[in-house]
Amino acid sequence: MAKTEHFYISTPIYYVNAKPHLGHCYTTVIADVAARFQRLLRGGSMAKGGHGSVFFLTGTDEHADKVVTAGAAKGVTPQAWCDIHAAEFEKAFAALDCSHDDFIRTTQDRHKSRVAEYIRRLQQSRDIYLGDYTGWYDPGQEEYVTETAAKEHNYLSPVSGQPLVKRTERNYFFRLSAYQDRLIEHMQRNPESVLPEARRNEVLGRLRQPLQDIPVSRAVGDDPASRWGILMPDDPGHRIYVWIDALFNYLSAMDTPERRAFWPAQVHLIAKDILWFHAVIWPAMLMALGEALPRVLYAHSWWVMGERKMSKSLGNFVSIEDLAAYAERYGVDAVRWFLATQGPLGATDSEWSYSKFVEVYNADLANGIGNSTSRVGNMIAKYFDGVLPECASSGPDRPLAGACAQAVTASMASLDRFEIDEACRGGIRMVTAVDGYINQTEPFRLAKRIGEPGVREQLAAILTDCAEALRIASVLMAPAMPTKMAELWRNWNCAPKSGETLADLCTWGGMRPGTKIIKGDPLFMRADPALPEPGAVDS
Ligand code: MSP
């Protein structure tokens, strides 16, 4: 992934017709872990605004027709409905410790006024024009499906399985057909423009068919739902189609003199359900506007349950309450770790399972970084009074140092490819190396002979190496688990100093002799697999 001075990452903006669930939280948590890695890379703190050149945006998409019907059913205005549900998303992301720099809502004036201006520019350049459209409409998704896709799915919605409806509308159209060659050329010149590879091939495959111009407005009628949205400039008979309105959020949020330098986005993170809009329609609109194109569109796969995409409409989802119950029992960081390392980041879907959660929690956290840091901390307390001993032989030529350097290099390379899961797992590889090293060198046995010549020095070197390797492991795990790793850094007096970059922090030799090591409580208590799933009993 090209290195740029500014790093701007976005998530999709989520529909407010339903409460947030695991799927939405997943994307925002992954973006959060990526943003924290980027702040660390640049020597900033991992917290929100921790480095001036990193910007992380999430938010809500509020102009869907469903908002009006759902609000009416509860006796509230569409805006009140949006306010309630946008707050639910903000609350969910705060509970998951997400460090977004801004939360954009499409009903905000800052967004609406800019969208009207972008549309006006596109009308002036004749990329948007007035015409008629007839096609297969998916009412649940509020989108048209191409003739080929409609036929392929037996004229049922590819997403919900509900019947598609034939509709004709007088609309404004975006001249998408004019951008086909440029889109293909852009994708061929920039292999990272759509990732993972499978998604890129999917888009390139579909681009072999000629592109049709697409409607970008909906008629305003008598029913209140048809009046919900941003009106077409100078034509109150049409409002801007919710999807077009929504895509502009990525630009509208950054279209201020202070934020302009963040454009283009380094990563638009989405899931594969909304690939076409982001890989084809969005870049074509940006080309028409004369704006630079996002560097990477990363479309992850789905959390599934019972082999179907987890979704509110199918009812097979892990709710925000379920996630809160997991966080209550295991800690927020453990939930973040599971999402960051076990989710559908690549081209395959992930099945959610409680037993898998417990297995990963025990292996990576309780018996992994938790147990390893306790063991090493306890031995330093016992044999060296809790102070990292002076030792001449601890240096970069030590066996653990080599293993660490390899894990760090691999993690950094993963980060470049947006393989956030792999980047985090580098930490676990180092923990495993430390455990192996302890089993092999048996410091607890050596300690029994501490009075013999040279043994104290040997023991000091082993424990210093282990502490150093675990410190570096904790740095790689910190973007996913900022609270727990900060707890360890407090106990071990090794918190990153301001200005230290990820590369500095991952350089062997950070733990200095004389550093006080406080044993502290175990970072993670072991999980009992026999307990029922959280939420099933707790809520
Ligand atoms: N509002 C549009 C997006 C507009 S972006 C300009 C939308 N909203 S949504 O509420 O349906 O959210 C879709 C996104 O939520 C997915 O792209 C993905 O990021 C996340 N997920 C929702 N369900 C998911 C899964 N089952 N699995 C993984 N991610 C999921 O589409």
Atom number, ligand 1, closest to the C-alpha of residue 249: 6
Confidence of residue 424 (pLDDT cuts 50, 70, 90): very high
Please give the structure tokens belonging to residue 147. Answer: 């003739």
CA of 218 to the centre of ligand 1 (A): 22
Residue 12 Cβ inside 6 Å of ligand 1? The answer reads yes
Please give the structure tokens belonging to residue 421. Answer: 């899961």
Residue 23 Cβ inside 6 Å of ligand 1? The answer reads yes
Confidence of residue 539 (pLDDT cuts 50, 70, 90): very low
Residue 247 Cβ inside 6 Å of ligand 1? The answer reads yes
Nearest CA to ligand 1 atom 5: 12
| Selection from 56, 22, 25, 60 nearest residue 38 by Cα | 56
| pLDDT exceeds 60 at position 405 | yes
Long-range Cβ contact pairs of 231-238 (< 8 A, separation 24 or more): 231/116, 232/119, 232/172, 233/116, 233/119, 233/120, 233/123, 235/172, 238/171, 238/172
What tens digit of pLDDT does each residue of 175-220 get?
Answer: 999 999 999 999 999 999 999 999 999 999 999 999 999 999 998 9
Percent of the chain with pLDDT over 90: 88
Candidate from 300-314, 407-421, 424-438, 481-495 with smallest mean pLDDT:
300-314
- Kindly state the average pLDDT of the residues 153-166: 93
Provide the strand spans (E) within 84-147: 102-105, 128-138, 143-145
Between CA 143 and CA 244 the distance in angstroms is 11
- Kindly state the average pLDDT of the residues 276-304: 98
Among 17, 22, 141, 274, say which to mutate for ligand 1: greatest number of ligand atoms within 8 Å of CB.
Answer: 274
**SS3 at position 514:** coil
Nearest CA to ligand 1 atom 24: 23
Residue 377 Cβ inside 6 Å of ligand 1? The answer reads no
pTM: 0.94
Nearest CA to ligand 1 atom 9: 14
Provide the strand spans (E) within 16-139: 54-61, 102-105, 128-138
| Selection from 60, 7, 34 nearest residue 336 by Cα | 34
Nearest CA to ligand 1 atom 20: 24
CA 170 to chain centre: 38
Enumerate the β-bridge partners of residue 8.
55
Atom number, ligand 1, closest to the C-alpha of residue 14: 10
CA of 161 to the centre of ligand 1 (A): 18
CA of 24 to the centre of ligand 1 (A): 6
Residue 24 Cβ inside 6 Å of ligand 1? The answer reads yes
- Kindly state the average pLDDT of the residues 429-446: 96
What's the 3-state SS for 313-376?
A: CCCCCCEHHHHHHHHHHHCHHHHHHHHHHHCCCCCCCEECCHHHHHHHHHHHHHHHHHHHHHHH
- Kindly state the average pLDDT of the residues 3-11: 90
| pLDDT exceeds 70 at position 538 | no
CA of 300 to the centre of ligand 1 (A): 10
Among 14, 103, 323, 421, say which to mutate for ligand 1: greatest number of ligand atoms within 8 Å of CB.
Answer: 14
Confidence of residue 146 (pLDDT cuts 50, 70, 90): confident
The backbone torsions φ and ψ at residue 319, rounded to the nearest 5 degrees and listed phi first, read: -80, 170
Question: For the CA atoms of the chain, what is the radius of gyration?
Answer: 26
pLDDT at 1: 63
Atom number, ligand 1, closest to the C-alpha of residue 277: 6
* CB of 470 closer than 8 Å to CB of 383: no
Atom number, ligand 1, closest to the C-alpha of residue 302: 27
Residue 285 Cβ inside 6 Å of ligand 1? The answer reads no
CA of 26 to the centre of ligand 1 (A): 10
Between CA 54 and CA 42 the distance in angstroms is 9
CA of 109 to the centre of ligand 1 (A): 24
| pLDDT exceeds 70 at position 116 | yes
Among 273, 310, 349, say which to mutate for ligand 1: greatest number of ligand atoms within 8 Å of CB.
Answer: 273
CA of 66 to the centre of ligand 1 (A): 16
Residue 299 Cβ inside 6 Å of ligand 1? The answer reads no
| Selection from 376, 374, 364 nearest residue 527 by Cα | 364
Neighbours of 529 (CB within 10 A): 12
pLDDT at 535: 84
- CB-neighbour burial class of residue 185 (10 A; exposed 0-12, middle 13-18, buried 19+): exposed
What tens digit of pLDDT does each residue of 29-50 get?
Answer: 999 999 999 999 999 999 999 9
Nearest CA to ligand 1 atom 30: 23
Between CA 497 and CA 310 the distance in angstroms is 41
- Kindly state the average pLDDT of the residues 264-271: 98
Residue type, position 135, single letter: G
What's the CA angle centered on 143, arms 138 and 148, to 5 degrees?
A: 70
Q: What is the bridge-based pairing of β-strands 128-138 and 143-145?
A: antiparallel
Neighbours of 497 (CB within 10 A): 9
- CB-neighbour burial class of residue 183 (10 A; exposed 0-12, middle 13-18, buried 19+): buried
CA of 401 to the centre of ligand 1 (A): 42
CA of 229 to the centre of ligand 1 (A): 20
| pLDDT exceeds 50 at position 248 | yes
* CB of 331 closer than 8 Å to CB of 364: no
What is 454-478 written as a DSSP string?
THHHHHHHHHHHHHHHHHHHHHHHT
**SS3 at position 410:** helix
The mean predicted confidence, pLDDT, of the chain is 95
Candidate from 109-118, 119-128, 129-138, 485-494 with smallest mean pLDDT:
129-138
The backbone torsions φ and ψ at residue 276, rounded to the nearest 5 degrees and listed phi first, read: -60, -45
| pLDDT exceeds 70 at position 470 | yes
CA of 213 to the centre of ligand 1 (A): 25
pLDDT at 467: 97
Residue 159 Cβ inside 6 Å of ligand 1? The answer reads no
CA of 372 to the centre of ligand 1 (A): 38
The backbone torsions φ and ψ at residue 59, rounded to the nearest 5 degrees and listed phi first, read: 165, -165
**SS3 at position 93:** helix
- Kindly state the average pLDDT of the residues 352-366: 97
| pLDDT exceeds 50 at position 537 | no
